[in-house]
Amino acid sequence: MTEKRDRNAKRERRRYIRLDTVFPVQFRLESLDSKQPLSPWIQGFTNNIGHGGICLAVNDPSPELIKLVREGRVKLAIEIDIPLRGKTVCASVSLAWTKDAGGSSKRYLLGLDYEKINPGQNRMLIRYAWARKLFLPFVLVSVGILVLSLGIGSYLNIQLTRRNNMLVEELVRVLQESKSVKQQLSQIAGERKELQTRIQSLTAQIEAVSVKKIEAAGEAGHQVLPPDKTEELNAIIVKLAQERDLLQARLDALRASEKAAQQEAVRLEAKKAILEKANLEKMYQWFKVRQNPHTGLVMSFEGDKDIASWAFLYDEALLIQVFSDFSDYPSARKMLDFFAKEAKRENGWFLNAYYVNDGAPAEFVLHCGPNIWLGLSVVQYTQITGDRQYLHIAEEIARNIIALQNSDLDNGIRGGPQMTWYSTEHHLDAYALYKMLARVTKSDAYEQAAEKTLGWLLRHTYDRQDLPVKRGKGDSTIATDTYAWSIAAIGPEKLQSIGMDPDKIMEFAEENCKVEVSFTRPGGQVVKVQGFDFAPQLHVSRGGVVSSEWTAQMIVSFKIMEEYYLKKGQAEKAAAYREKADNYLGQLSKMIISSPSPSGQGEGCLPYASQAYVDTGHGWMTPKGKHTGSVSGTAYTIFAYYGINPLRLKE
pLDDT for 273-325, tens place per residue?
888 888 888 899 999 999 999 999 999 999 888 998 999 999 999 999 999 99
User: What contacts 261, CB < 8 A, 6 or more positions away?
Assistant: 181, 184, 185, 188
Instruction: Dump pLDDT digits (tens) for 492-551.
Output: 999 999 999 999 999 999 999 999 999 998 888 899 999 999 988 655 667 899 999 999
Give 355's pLDDT tier (boundaries 50, 70, 90): very high
Mean of the pLDDT values across residues 224-233?
73
- Rounded mean pLDDT of 106-123? 83
- Contact in structure between 81 and 47 (CB atoms under 8 Å): no
Mean pLDDT of 345-349: 96
Task: Express each pLDDT in 525-541 by its tens digit.
Answer: 899 999 999 988 655 66
Higher pLDDT, 7 or 340: 340
| Of the candidates 10, 42, 37, 8, the residue with the CA atom closest to the CA atom of residue 25 | 42
Tell whether pTM > 0.75: no
Q: What is the pLDDT of residue 235?
A: 87
134 or 363, higher pLDDT: 363
H helices then E strands: how many in the chain? 16, 17
At residue 161, the pLDDT reads 66
Structural domains of the chain, with CATH: 2-129 (2.40.10.220), 157-290 (1.10.287), 291-460 (1.50.10.10), 466-651 (no CATH)
Q: What is the pLDDT, as a whole number, of residue 1?
A: 43
pLDDT tens per residue, range 592-609: 988 877 777 778 899 999
The answer to whether residues 167 and 604 touch, using CB atoms and an 8 Å cutoff, is yes
16: pLDDT strictly greater than 80: no
* pLDDT band with cut points at 50, 70 and 90 for residue 452: very high
Residue type for position 135 = F
Average per-residue pLDDT for the chain = 87
CA distances from 406 to 361, 365, 436 (A): 29, 22, 20
179-188, 227-236, 301-310, 372-381, range with the lowest pLDDT: 227-236
Identify the weakest region by mean pLDDT among 170-174, 460-464, 542-546, 556-560: 170-174
Predicted confidence (pLDDT) per residue in 406-419, tens digit: 999 999 999 999 99
Q: Is the pLDDT assigned to residue 617 strictly greater than 50? A: yes
pLDDT at 11: 47
Residue 647: the pLDDT is: 98
240 touches 247 (CB < 8 A):
no
**Residue 340 DSSP code:** I
Does residue 12 register a pLDDT over 50?
no
Q: List, in sequence order, every residue forming a beta bridge with 45; answer none if it has no partner.
A: 24, 57
What is the helix (H) or strand (E) element at residue 520, kind and residue range?
A: strand 514-520
Q: In 3-state terms, what secondary structure has residue 604? A: strand
DSSP letters spanning 400-430: HHHHHHHTSTT---BSSTT---BBHHHHHHH
Cα 379 from Cα 451, distance rounded (Å) = 19
* Rounded Cα gap, residues 118 and 447, in angstroms: 84
- % of residues, the chain, pLDDT over 90: 55
Instruction: Supply the pLDDT for residue 273.
Output: 84
pLDDT at 149: 65
Residue 92 has a pLDDT of 86
pLDDT band at 155 (very low <50, low <70, confident <90, very high): low
- pLDDT value at residue 47: 65
Provide the sign of the torsion angle of the four alpha carbons 302, 306, 309, 313, taken in this order: negative
In this predicted model, what pLDDT tens digit does every residue of 160-200 receive, in sequence order? 667 767 777 787 788 888 888 888 988 999 999 999 999 99
Plot region of 280 (φ>0 → left; ψ -120 to 50 → alpha; else → beta): alpha
Which of 352, 379, 382 minimizes the C-alpha distance to 367?
Answer: 352
Angle at 458 between CA 452 and CA 464, to 5 degrees: 165
CB atoms within 10 A of CB 618: 14
The span from the CA of 446 to the CA of 433, in Å, is 9
pLDDT of residue 52: 83
CA distance linking residue 444 with residue 492, whole number of Å: 23
pLDDT of residue 14: 43
Minimum mean pLDDT range among 54-58, 97-101, 163-167: 163-167
pLDDT > 70 in the chain, percent: 89
